[in-house]
Amino acid sequence: MRIALLLLAWLLSLGASAAPNDVATLDRSTWPEQLTSPTLFDVASRAEILMFARGLLDVDAMDEIALKQYLGLRTVNMAAIDALRARLWQRLLTNYNFAQRSCDQDASFCYLVEDMATLREEARRFHLDDNSYYIKWAAPSQIFHTQYRDELLRKAALFPQTSSEIARFGDYERNGEDMNDRLFLLTFDSAANVVPDNTSWLTDYLRKANMNGTFFVLGKDIQARLEERSANSLQMLYAGQCVGVQGWEFRSHSHWQDWQDSVRRSVELVKGKLPENYVPLFRPPQGQRRGDAEGFFRQQGLQVALWDIDPQDSGNRLKPEQSAQRVLTLMLLWRHGVINFNAKQDGVKTAVPWLMAQTAQSGIGWADCQEAFR
């Protein structure tokens, strides 16, 4: 009984700062420096990596019983959770090694990390004194990484019964994990809604900035637009951008009997009307797709396009500024990846320019949409 009570107290202490299902966001004004150079990007990146690693340690040894209780779930997929934890640790080590290359220019958050064991040890000892220049960031960052860690754990616990972007079913599925350091790809879901839709604003903004992104559309929305305007006007809308598909309707493609027809019809329409913009990518709505679909996608010449950095900008869960700040924090943590804004949310018109301004001098790059998944 005493052991059980101690375990429960420990679990409650871990969750005290973050209620279940909270969406992680971090007020970037708590960080005292602007990202005005690649070196300062690395300083902030090292800090976020160490803070997340510290939080990951707290759940690293949790077994199935403890995770069920902590996550509030009746069942958990321990194989998926173990795979996630191993993958996260490897990414943290790789990213910290990239981030510490500038330690000779600024030694903040630089420690002797040579392998996984030393990364774990430095994460275990990571602590900021009350007089630290970065102390205002420390507590909010710890809360952020606890919430974000729990988001990932919960998705892994439910995978693959509830499929999501948390894991890939095969190498025909792509996310941003294989991208080069400091390289990011902008993508936009629901990018052809008749109302509401911010595609016109976004494509114009990106062209003026000499940038591009991948816009994932529904077949029925493209069809509706073509009933109102010409194919030429649609081509002008997406000029210089890439267009992939999300299926014919925005619904789960994991248990939908007609999911293959949904994908095929959308591809046929988009490829026919936007031949210069079309890219052979399918983004499953909400990340939900079947685990036995490899043969179909290879036959169709398609890749499944997932993501690593979720702004959580749907359903008004976060304000635009919060969503943008979440993205920037995850960019610092993962150092490369695929961002998936929602084009029908008005907040994207605030979040994207803010993100561009914050990273303009940070030394990051934006991937060309035609090359990103090749």
For residue range 86-107, what is the model confidence (pLDDT) as tens digits? Answer: 999 999 999 999 999 999 999 9
Question: What is the percent of the chain where pLDDT is above 90?
Answer: 89
Q: What SS3 class is residue 68?
A: helix
Q: Looking at residue 317, what is its pLDDT? A: 84
**For the chain, give me the number of helices (H) and strands (E)?**
13, 8
* Average model confidence (pLDDT) across the chain: 93
Position 359 pLDDT exceeds 80: yes
**229 CB burial (10 A radius; 0-12, 13-18, 19+):** exposed
Q: Three-state SS for 341?
A: strand
* Measured distance CA(197)–CA(203) in Å, rounded: 12
CA distance 75 to 67: 9
So what's the pLDDT on residue 21? 63
Q: Nearest 10 degrees: CA dihedral of 205, 208, 214, 219?
A: 60
Q: What is the pLDDT of residue 12?
A: 40
Tell me the whole-structure pTM to 2 decimals.
0.93
Under 8 Å CB-to-CB from 41, ≥6 apart: which residues?
A: 35, 182, 332, 359, 362, 363, 364
| Length reported for the chain | 374
For residue 194, the model assigns a pLDDT of 65
Please state, in angstroms and as integers, the Cα–Cα distance from residue 339 to each residue in 60, 161, 219, following that order.
Answer: 27, 24, 22
d(CA 4, CA 337): 41
Q: Looking at residue 191, what is its pLDDT?
A: 66
Question: pLDDT tier at 374 (50, 70, 90 boundaries)?
Answer: confident
* pLDDT at residue number 135: 98
Cα–Cα distance measured from residue 200 to residue 262, given in angstroms and rounded to the nearest whole number: 25
Residue 199 has pLDDT above 90, yes or no: yes
Per DSSP, the three-state class of 239 is coil
Is the pLDDT at 248 greater than 50? The verdict is yes
**DSSP string spanning 104-116?**
TT--TT-----SH
At 78, the amino acid letter reads M
Please report, rounded to a whole number, the percentage of residues in the chain having pLDDT higher than 70: 93
CA of 294: how far to CAs of 30, 250, 345, in Å?
45, 21, 32
Torsion angle (degrees, nearest 10) of CA 37, 41, 44, 47: -130
Over range 293-317, report the average pLDDT: 95
Q: Note the pLDDT tens digit of each residue in 16-73.
A: 344 446 899 999 999 999 999 999 999 999 999 999 999 999 999 999 999 999 999 9
Q: How far is CA 283 from CA 149, 152, 201, 324, in A?
A: 24, 19, 22, 22
Q: State how far Cα 327 lies from the chain centre.
A: 8
Task: State the pairing for strand pair 242-245/278-282.
Answer: parallel
**Which residues does residue 337 pair with via DSSP β-bridges, in sequence order?**
184
pLDDT of 106-146, one tens digit each?
A: 999 999 999 999 999 999 999 999 999 999 999 999 999 99
Q: Which residues pair with 304 in a beta bridge?
A: 173, 282
Contact 275, 247 (CB under 8 A): no
What is the end-to-end Cα distance of the chain in Å, rounded? 56
Mean predicted confidence (pLDDT) in 148-169: 98
CB distance 92 to 52 below 8 Å: yes
Cβ atoms of residues 282 and 245 within 8 Å: yes
Q: Judging by DSSP bridges, how do beta strands 365-366 and 303-305 pair with one another?
A: unpaired
Tokens (6 digits) for 257:
């009997």
What is the model's pLDDT at position 9? 39
Q: What integer is the mean pLDDT of 224-233?
A: 93
